[in-house]
Chains A and B, each alone.
Chain A
Amino acid sequence: AQSVAQPEDQVNVAEGNPLTVKCTYSVSGNPYLFWYVQYPNRGLQFLLKYITGDNLVKGSYGFEAEFNKSQTSFHLKKPSALVSDSALYFCAVRDRGYQKVTFGTGTKLQVIP
């Protein structure tokens, strides 16, 4: 079985400050890991993914994520938050060899001007 935990329902950060949205995962094998963002009344949009190789993955809109195998974490980061980054962020995992992608419960990011 595979699962994802996003321990924070909401993260508040001041505009211009660095942000981190936390994610931990559980899979029986090696994972593919993803971050998606959802704006109100919209579908999910892909931000970035980890497949293999470099543990620091760079994605859209200046976001990056760090894969840490020993801590089974894949935290989303951005050096300087924008008000327009305010949205709902979902971490997702897929065990290699399986097709189903499992999503976390989401973290609402609020960037305060």
Chain B
Amino acid sequence: GAGVSQSPSNKVTEKGKDVELRCDPISGHTALYWYRQSLGQGLEFLIYFQGNSAPDKSGLPSDRFSAERTGGSVSTLTIQRTQQEDSAVYLCASSQILRAGWRETQYFGPGTRLLVL
């Protein structure tokens, strides 16, 4: 594909509802990353996928957050029972892995703006 795409671009939800955010990485990119960025803040790492497995979930802030990746392509980040502090921009990035353990540049999608009322 031309680039990383994410949907929806904006999501407004009520506190306590569940939301699903989708990421379509660049075709052929084995590695996929989820980050979030609160207003005026830096990047906060959430989870890293290599293929369909997630060797690093250390950034998920609570058990309300989960993510999966199927077919080595599309990934979904799910937030259950959303809270107001979950409001942020959720960013997805992907990269190639050229040889064992080494990856190339991360390319980002446009992000999903989540607002929890």
- A and B associate in one complex: no
Interface of B with A (CB < 8 Å)?
none
